């Protein structure tokens, strides 16, 4: 439906971890670039004010199969729904072994974009409608739109919730593995508007989540899935962003890591530090042979940590039940 694109970069050593698996953040960045291209094309397909599509949200994304160094990534995108001010894009990622010709599906993702005027970045423009082959497609898309809009409002984080460092933490605690990365936003990180690409932010978030997982397990780790990533506010060029990660829950073979992105407009004294994005990443621990390993169990210490652990457990059981085709998680 509407525009379709395909971009086939080859995966190189600097795209991968020590085991040769491509970083989840690298794949997320490719997904976002494809989504931004197709949605910007669509939003400029009619005469009117020119715009650039900005990423507002990424739905849960599962990493179905690892991608390795030397493989070619085929990224295709399709517009599946439009509301008055937003675009839903479905992106698929296939990996191709160019020696054997074997292809496999590695990722499927749904992204939401809003068109921002090139003349006024705070002005959201109207989206040209798409033509649906079936009426049910529009109705189903409207339900997805309303659901993600509600969840975005419910999960907007408070600026006061920050990750604080702790001196001499014990192993397997939240404080032991929590990590932060500080990044100065430069021109190469930004769109035509001078705001950070969503893919750049997601790659940094995955990098921090990977550090947290590696510190906790001390093994090779890979991204298994990313829960919905919500972009609460735009990040301007020149901002200093702090990406913080902390472990919230562990099952026998997986780890949930909360990642928060805060922006500090150091060149603008009129604006205070604010929460720009948030998400939950799930990682698994692997042996040198690529086999799943048991995960050291997290030891929550404070009441807040215990609360986040139970909330993470609920999300884990809900997704486990969904995979098993059950309506509700079982105790």
The residues annotated with a catalytic role in the active site are: 17, 206
The SS3 assignment for 264 reads: strand
Distance between CA atoms of residues 186 and 108, nearest Å: 30
The SS3 assignment for 331 reads: coil
**List of residues 6+ apart from 153 with CB closer than 8 A:** none
Beta-strand relationship, 220-226 and 255-264: unpaired
**Cβ neighbourhood burial of 302 (10 Å; 0-12, 13-18, 19+):** exposed
* Cβ atoms 299, 234 nearer than 8 A: no
Nearest partner of 258 among 226, 289, 221, judged by Cα: 226
* Cβ atoms 240, 184 nearer than 8 A: yes
């Amino acid at each position: 439906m509407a525009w379709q694109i395909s971009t086939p970069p080859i995966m190189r050593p600097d795209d991968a971890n020590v085991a040769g698996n491509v970083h989840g953040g690298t794949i997320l960045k490719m997904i976002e670039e494809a989504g931004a291209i197709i949605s910007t094309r669509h939003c400029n397909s009619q005469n009117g004010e020119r715009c650039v599509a900005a990423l507002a949200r990424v739905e849960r994304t599962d990493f179905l199969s690892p991608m390795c160094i030397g493989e070619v990534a085929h990224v295709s995108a399709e517009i599946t729904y439009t509301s008055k001010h937003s675009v839903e894009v479905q992106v698929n990622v296939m990996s191709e072994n160019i020696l054997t010709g074997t292809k496999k599906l590695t990722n499927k993702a749904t992204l939401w974009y809003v068109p921002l005027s090139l003349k006024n970045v705070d002005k959201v423009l109207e989206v040209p409608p798409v033509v649906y082959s079936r009426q049910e497609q529009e109705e189903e898309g409207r339900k997805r739109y309303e659901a993600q809009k509600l969840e975005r409002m419910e999960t907007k984080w408070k600026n006061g919730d920050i990750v604080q460092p702790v001196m001499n933490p014990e192993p397997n605690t939240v404080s032991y593995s929590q990590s932060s990365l500080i990044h100065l936003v430069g021109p190469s990180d930004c769109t035509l508007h001078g705001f950070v690409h969503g893919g750049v932010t997601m790659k940094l978030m995955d990098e921090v989540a990977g550090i947290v997982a590696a510190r906790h397990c001390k093994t090779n780790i890979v991204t298994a899935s990313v829960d919905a990533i919500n972009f609460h506010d735009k990040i301007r060029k020149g901002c200093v962003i702090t990406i913080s990660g902390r472990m919230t829950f562990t099952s026998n073979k997986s780890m949930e890591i909360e990642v928060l992105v805060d922006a500090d407009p150091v060149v603008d004294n009129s604006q205070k530090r604010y929460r720009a994005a948030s998400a939950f990443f799930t990682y698994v621990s692997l042996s040198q042979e690529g086999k799943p390993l048991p995960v050291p169990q997290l030891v929550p210490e404070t009441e807040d940590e215990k609360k986040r652990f139970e909330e993470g457990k609920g999300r884990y059981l809900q997704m486990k039940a969904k995979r098993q085709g059950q309506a509700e998680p079982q105790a």
